Amino acid sequence: MSDKEALLVLRDGRVFRGRALGAEGETHGEVIFNTAMSGYQEILTDPSYRGQIVTMTYPMIGNYGINEEDVESHKPWANGLIVKEASACPSSWRGRMCLDDYLKAHGLVGLQGIDTRALTRHLRDHGAQDGIISTELDVERLRERARALPGLVGRDLVAEVSSTKPFTWTEGAWDPSRGYVAPPPARFSVVAVDAGIKFNILRQLGAAGCDVTVVPASTPAEAVLERQPDGVFLSNGPGDPEGVPYLIDAVRGLIGRVPMFGICLGHQILGLAAGGRTYKLPFGHHGANHPVKDLATGKVEITSQNHGFAVDPASLAGRGWEPTHHNLNDDTCEGLRHVELPVFSVQYHPEASPGPHDANYLFHRFTALMESAGKTGPRQP
C-alpha cells in the first residue's frame, strides 16, 4: 500500500490528512458515511453511490478481501472510498485480491489513515457535502475547487448508470456451497426499469418466480406496456429524483395500468409521479442497521439503506396514497401504497446483500399483487 500523503478537503474548508488508498490522483463527490460493518464490495459496486465518496465508519475495511461473486453490478460506481484502516492481509477462502489492488485495478481513488469518527461526526453535525480526495497538497487551491463543485441537487446521475438497451436476466441466486442456483419456473413476466439496479434485486425477483426483462430508465411508459408485463419494478438509483423528469413522466403513465413495486429511488420517483414532493436529508441514510416500523403490523424491521432524499408523505394527502412504513430514527417515510391501485414502494433495500433479511417478504408481496390482478398461470416460453 502507498505511503503517499493524501488529503480530503470538504466544501466548508475542513481538511483531513491521511494516505493514498487505491489509485493515486484525485476524485470528488458528495462525502457521506455508511454505518455497515461489512459489504464494502457491494457498496462500491452499487450504482446508487454514483456521485458519492463513501466513508466507512467501521475501523477496519477489507479484511476478507474481494471476490468475484459479491459484486452488485459490472464495475464500481462510487466516486471514492475513505477508511480508517484498509487491511493489507485479507483472510478468506473466497477472497481473490486485497481492497487496495481492487481499487487500483478500477482506477478508484481512496483515502485511509484519517480519523473517520471525526469525519462522521462532522458530516452528521454539518450535513453531507462535496469534497475532494487528492494527492495534491495545496490546501487553499483544493478548498477553492471544493467550493465550486456542483453538488447532487438537480443532477441526472441515472443516465450515467442505467443500461443502454433492454436485456433479460437469467442468473440464479448465489449459494456459497453450491454456486449459482437456478431460479424456479417463472409465473410472472416483470419489466424492471433500470435506474441503477443491483444484481441481487434481479436475483430476488427471479427467486420469487419472475421472468425479468430490464429496460433503460429512459424507456417511455407505452414502450413498457407494449411488452405486456404482469408487473413493473422501479429500481434503486443515484442522486436527486427530481433530476430525472423523463422517468417521472414514464411512471406517471404506468400508475393504475399495471401492478408496480418500487424501491429507494423508485420509491421517490413514484412519490413525485403521484404528485408529491421530495426533499434532501441532512446526511442521508447509508448502512445496514436502520430500524423501520411496518405501520400495518407494528413489526420493526432492521433494514439496509442508501439514499439522500426522501418523500414528504403530507404532500400526497388526499391523493389516494398512504404511508406504510416509518423510520424510527428520524420519522421519515419509508413506504407508500395506493389505497385502491396495485402500487406500493419502500425507501429501503429488501434485497439486503449483505445485511438483514427482514424485508425479503416484499418481493412475495409484489407477486401476490400480480396474482390478485389475475396473472396466475405459468408463463409460456
Side chain identity at residue 141, one-letter code = R
Confidence of residue 149 (pLDDT cuts 50, 70, 90): very high
| 381: CB partners within 8 A, 6+ apart | none
The pTM of this model reads 0.94
Is the domain 158-372 a CATH 3.30.930.10 member?
no
Q: Confidence class of residue 342 from pLDDT cuts 50, 70 and 90? A: very high
pLDDT for 359 equals: 85
- Say whether pLDDT at 377 is over 70: no
Q: What topology does CATH give the domain 5-147? A: Glucose Oxidase; domain 1 (3.50.30)
List the domain boundaries for the chain. 5-147, 158-372
The pLDDT score that the predictor gives to residue 283 is 95
List, for residues 156-169, the tens digit of each pLDDT value: 999 999 999 999 99
Which pLDDT score is estimated for 93?
92
In this model, does residue 25 exceed pLDDT 70?
Answer: yes
Q: What is the CA radius of gyration of the chain?
A: 21
Q: What is the pLDDT of residue 182?
A: 76
pLDDT at 354: 72
Averaged pLDDT, 176-194: 83
Give the per-residue pLDDT at 173: 66
pLDDT at 351 over 60: yes
Catalytic residues: 264, 349, 351
The whole-number average pLDDT for the span 26-55 is 97
Q: CA 333, 316, 289 angle in degrees (round to 5)?
A: 10
pLDDT band with cut points at 50, 70 and 90 for residue 379: very low
Q: To the nearest 10°, report the CA torsion of 306, 60, 353, 20.
A: 60
pLDDT band at 378 (very low <50, low <70, confident <90, very high): very low
Question: Cα–Cα distances in Å, from 223 out to 24, 218, 254, 362?
Answer: 44, 10, 11, 26
Extended strands (E) in 177-276: 179-181, 188-194, 210-216, 231-234, 260-263
What is the pLDDT, as a whole number, of residue 353?
A: 73
Average pLDDT over residues 181-202: 92
Report pLDDT for 274. Answer: 97
Over residues 320-341, the pLDDT tens digits come to 999 999 999 999 999 999 999 9
Share of the chain above pLDDT 90, in %: 87
User: 306 and 325 in contact (C-beta within 8 Å)?
Assistant: no
Report the distance separating Cα 314 and Cα 346, nearest Å: 16
Q: Please give the helix or strand (H or E) that residue 288 lies within, else none.
A: strand 277-294
Q: Are 19 and 85 in contact (CB under 8 A)?
A: no
* Burial class of residue 35 (count of CB atoms within 10 Å of its CB; 0-12, 13-18, 19+): middle
Q: Which pLDDT value is given to residue 190?
A: 98
Q: Average pLDDT for residues 199-212, to the nearest whole number?
A: 94
- The average pLDDT across 225-239 equals 97
* C-alpha–C-alpha distance, residues 105 and 242, integer Å: 34
CA distance linking residue 156 with residue 17, whole number of Å? 31
**Does 369 score more than 50 pLDDT?**
yes
Average pLDDT over residues 91-95: 92
Distance between CA atoms of 369 and 376, rounded to whole angstroms? Answer: 10
What is the average pLDDT score of the chain?
Answer: 94
- Res 372: pLDDT: 92
Cell of 99: 481492497
pLDDT tens sequence across 256-299? 999 999 999 999 999 999 999 999 999 999 999 999 999 999 99
Dump pLDDT digits (tens) for 95-146.
Answer: 999 999 999 999 999 999 999 999 999 999 999 999 999 999 999 999 999 9
